[in-house]
Amino acid sequence: MQQRQLGRSGLQVSALGLGCMGMSFAYEPIPERGAMIALLRAAVERGVTFFDTAEAYGPFLNEELLGEALAPVRDQVVIATKFGFKTEAFPGLDSRPERIRKVAEAALKRLRTDRIDLFYQHRVDPQVPIEDVAGTVGELIREGKVKHFGLSEAGVAIIRRAHAVQPVAALQSEYSLWTREVETEILPTLQDLGIGFVPFSPLGRGYLTGKLDAATPLAPGDMRTTLPRFTAAARTANLALVVLLTGIAERKQATAAQVALAWLLAQDPCIVPIPGTTKLARLEENIDATALALTPADLQQISSAAAQITVHGARYPASLQQAVNR
């Protein structure tokens, strides 16, 4: 597995990480715990060193899962987790300094570790100055409980203010061929400040793999049933993206998912996508994307064609959209 550095932070990780949320939360049916422990260890055996979780995933169950699975190889991996919600189906935001400290201490226990490698603010809390948030994480870093500070779905002004207090190692936000808003201002800001970028949902929550069309049923409790972009009408309207990826994939003897990931990896050497999966075959398919060579002509064709496609459906319902890119 190739390695990448997240910006100028010095934090080295595998070129592709593993988003672990779906192993215990959000996508029904939730898989069996023992199978997910085996999958996490299989990822390590195949060279993945970067694992993403959060206290809100479960809540708490996902951190506990990673703690058990990765304890035997703790010094070989980088674990990122997050603070910022009140949890219990996360009713509201809370990034008060005392809450951040409480979350850190609890996460250390659940993860069975003495340090959090990357500690993200899960969503920007408008009630707490970002300077207070960055300062608190900075204190945890000096105490040795946290190694690096991250932000998720933050806007340019927040990123700059936070970085001025405590260097931000990475920003995590949604980025894929059907979610490209970060290209306008966010990515140039990260490049300017030397901050790494960790795209979540790089496969469009499964849609860009070509295995989820308008007729594909979503189980009750699957979070995608609440997202405007996953209505049957939107899934039908957005098929042009899948057709584009599938066409390139056939020419490259690859899969649509691999082309989507390879395109992301080619955008910047500081980008480390974290596709999630609960299946070994999909894990191996995603890992193989790191070896897929897209030529400049391929990349231009993909970007130009995608730019002509109008994506239908918002990322989130209005009640959640307001917490994004503050």
- What is the pLDDT of the chain when averaged over all its residues? 96
* Residue 194 confidence class, pLDDT cut points 50, 70, 90: very high
pTM over 0.95: yes
Q: What is the pLDDT of residues 255-313, one digit of tens each?
A: 999 999 999 999 999 999 999 999 999 999 999 999 999 999 999 999 899 999 999 99
Nearest 5 degrees, angle CA 59-CA 138-CA 270? 75
Output the pLDDT for position 57: 95
Instruction: Spell out the domain ranges in the chain.
Output: 3-321
Specify the fold of 3-321: TIM Barrel (3.20.20)
Q: What is the pLDDT of residues 21-44, one digit of tens each?
A: 999 999 989 999 999 999 999 999
Structure tokens at 64: 């506990």
d(CA 243, CA 326): 33
Catalytic residues: 57
Output the pLDDT for position 174: 97
Output the pLDDT for position 104: 98
Residue 180 pLDDT greater than 80, yes or no: yes
| DSSP secondary structure code for residue 92 in this structure | S
Q: Which helix (H) or strand (E) holds 232?
A: helix 232-237
Output the pLDDT for position 325: 63
Percent of all residues in the chain with a pLDDT value above 90, rounded to a whole number: 94
